[in-house]
Amino acid sequence: MDQCIGCHSCEVACAEQNGLSPEHVWRRVGEVEAGSFPHTQKLFVSSGCNHCLDAACMSACPTDSYHVTDKGVVIHDDESCIGCQYCTWACPYGVPVYQADRGIVTKCDMCHNRLEAGQDPACVQACPAEAIKIEKVTVGEVLATYMEVGQGPAMPDPAITIPSTKITLPVGMNIADFKKVDQALVHPEQPHSPLIAMTIFTQMAVGGFIFAFLFDVLQHLTLSAANPWGKTTVYFSASMLAVTLVSLLASTLHLGRPIYAYRAIKCWRTSWLSREVLALGLFAQMASLYVVFLLLTDGLGWLNSAVWGASPLRWLLGASTCVSGLIGIYASSRIYRVPARPAWNSVKTTWNFYSTALILGPLTVACALALSGFLTQRPAESYRVYLCFSLASCGIVLALKSVLNAYTLKQRAHSAVDELKATAQLYTQWFYRLRGLRNVLAGSTLILLFYWLTVRGAVTSAYDVLFLFGTLAVQVAYSLITRYLFYVTVVPKNIPGNFLIAAQQAAGAPR
């Protein structure tokens, strides 16, 4: 860093060496600045992979595509990669890049094949300022020094991944004075639409199963007669299963190589993505068994409902579905809790995911109850308590969520963490309108729920059913927008950027 002149030769040479298009470069040169004229200090940081000892990419990867060579080079295996991009979220330096044209992630490999043939890596070879050097170090040396030499101005904390890169700073400079030149130029991240759909709808399904199961148990405990709701539970559970299967299938569209989605379970020991796939897979299986069971008993009556209707098997299957679903949501949320993405790296993410289940789940159940009640002309009183309980739960969680969201945003706007501040900036500036719409939707839902609970209170006409389905639609829209904002407003940790590239990206900001 004390030698770099910011000429970008390394960047171009790297792209040429590895045949990369400009969007997918492995090495980038960023800038930081401090001081006032004429004591201005401007430094450049040329960064490829830092070949970390505790590589976040590697522990994130669900397909075991990252390896460390005997020389300590972290390399990526292009063949086994399925393009889930989880590593690109996990790396605090923004090193792995998703190459859309290949459907996989690729990254700097220190030109280890050139090194082994006795040639310099392309960046080293190209640098006219001799600012990049490859040195042999031992693990012990890195561990002893990384907290000092791994820290650069406006660079991510080396404690996150223990980088093996040594940053040489000019003598006498104060790191804290420096700011990234692209600090104020924030821009949104990718929305990952398949993931928005997958997370929202699996969470809805889990919430739905939980409430349906809960009610199933309750009515069996409280009513002596055989299932007074007819086939509602069967149909509802089957619909939730369909939602789950479709959204899980849709989530593979997020992958660069959907056909190899099955590989994602490989690293369940280390990767939360593998764990999520396993847990949600288990959830889908348990839900399927549960639905089949319900079909055979309540639905088709092939199994004697007197014998099987309230059997332990029913409770076991139902409970297993709910528990695996809850574990699935937890695993989902843990994927996002990476230090490289401060806005995600919080228990709030887990709360967000569970709260979605606790809002959409009961609301869906309420709609189902209302619909079936109306269609079968069932006495409104027979399910009124369940209905009101569902809607009230939904309303309470939503109100809580809205308050927490507002509080978090305020907190982040004054955060000492630049990335969190930038996230708040995206919410309040770039996505000003969408955030407003989201808040309107939340407010409307609460008003609608309050109105229905206080004024109507029971299903007496088709209007009530329509009203509740309308509320569900509003709430689904709210959840989709909230999740969209969750994805796009995260500001990842990264090396300092290139001002002009950032300015161009930030130019899309609504004026």
Name residues whose C-beta falls within 8 Å of residue 285's C-beta, 6 or more positions apart in sequence.
none
Binding of residue 501 to another protein (CB under 8 A): yes
DSSP letter string, 260-294? GGGGGGTTTTT-HHHHHHHHHHHHHHHHHHHHHHH
Site string for another protein, 64-103 (x = CB under 8 A): --------------xx-xxx-----------------xxx
Kindly determine how many residues on this chain lie close enough to bind another protein according to the rule CB under 8 A.
Answer: 69
Task: Please list every residue from 236 through 265 that binds another protein, using CB under 8 A.
Answer: 255-260
> Rule CB under 8 A: is residue 42 a binding residue for another protein?
yes
Among candidate residues 373, 293, 352, 279, the one with its CA nearest the CA of residue 322? 279
- Is there a contact between 448 and 471 (Cβ–Cβ < 8 Å)? yes
Rg (C-alpha) for the chain, rounded Å, is 27
Out of 40, 138, 224, 304, name the contact with another protein by CB under 8 A. Answer: 40
What are 371's two structure tokens? 């619909």
Question: In the bound complex, what is the minimum distance in angstroms from residue 188's beta carbon to another protein?
Answer: 14
3-class state of residue 352 by DSSP: helix
Stretch that binds another protein, among 38-46, 197-205, 321-329, 446-454 (CB under 8 A): 38-46
Handedness of CA 145, 148, 149, 150 (dihedral sign): positive
Report 433-472 residues binding another protein (CB under 8 A). none
Rounded to whole angstroms, the Cα distance separating 26 from 106 reads: 8
- Find the part of the chain contacting another protein (CB under 8 A) among 54-62, 182-190, 344-352, 386-394: 182-190
Minimal distance, residue 373 CB to another protein, in Å: 45
Stretch that binds another protein, among 67-75, 106-114, 363-371, 465-473 (CB under 8 A): 106-114
Residue 411 is a binding residue for another protein (CB under 8 A)? no
User: What is the per-residue burial (b if ≥16 Cβ within 10 Å, else e) of 271-282?
Assistant: bbbbbbbbbbbb
Could you say whether residue 104 binds another protein (CB under 8 A)?
yes
Which backbone phi and psi does 229 adopt, to 5 degrees?
-90, 5
Residue of the chain from 70, 128, 138, 176 that contacts another protein (CB under 8 A): 128
Distance CA 483, CA 344 (A): 12
**15 is an interface residue for another protein by CB under 8 A:** yes
- Residue 409 binds another protein (CB under 8 A): no
Q: Which of 330, 351, 469, 499 binds another protein (CB under 8 A)?
A: 499
Which residue in 185, 175, 148, 176 sits closest to 163, CA to CA? 148
Q: For 316, what's the count of Cα atoms within 13 Å in the CB-facing half-sphere? A: 6
Surface-to-core class of residue 340, CB atoms within 10 Å of its CB (0-12 exposed, 13-18 middle, 19+ buried)? buried
Please tell me whether residue 111 binds another protein under the rule CB under 8 A: yes
Which residue's CB is nearer to another protein, number 20 or number 68?
20
* Least separation in angstroms between CB 238 and another protein: 29
Least distance in Å: CB of 160 to another protein?
A: 27
Q: Are strands 179-180 and 66-68 parallel, antiparallel or unpaired?
A: unpaired
Q: Per rule CB under 8 A, is residue 134 in the interface with another protein?
A: no
List residues near another protein by CB under 8 A. Answer: 3, 5-9, 11-13, 15-19, 21-23, 25, 33, 35-38, 40-43, 78-79, 81-83, 101-104, 111, 113-114, 117, 119, 122, 125-130, 181, 183-185, 255-260, 498-501, 503-504, 506-507, 509-511
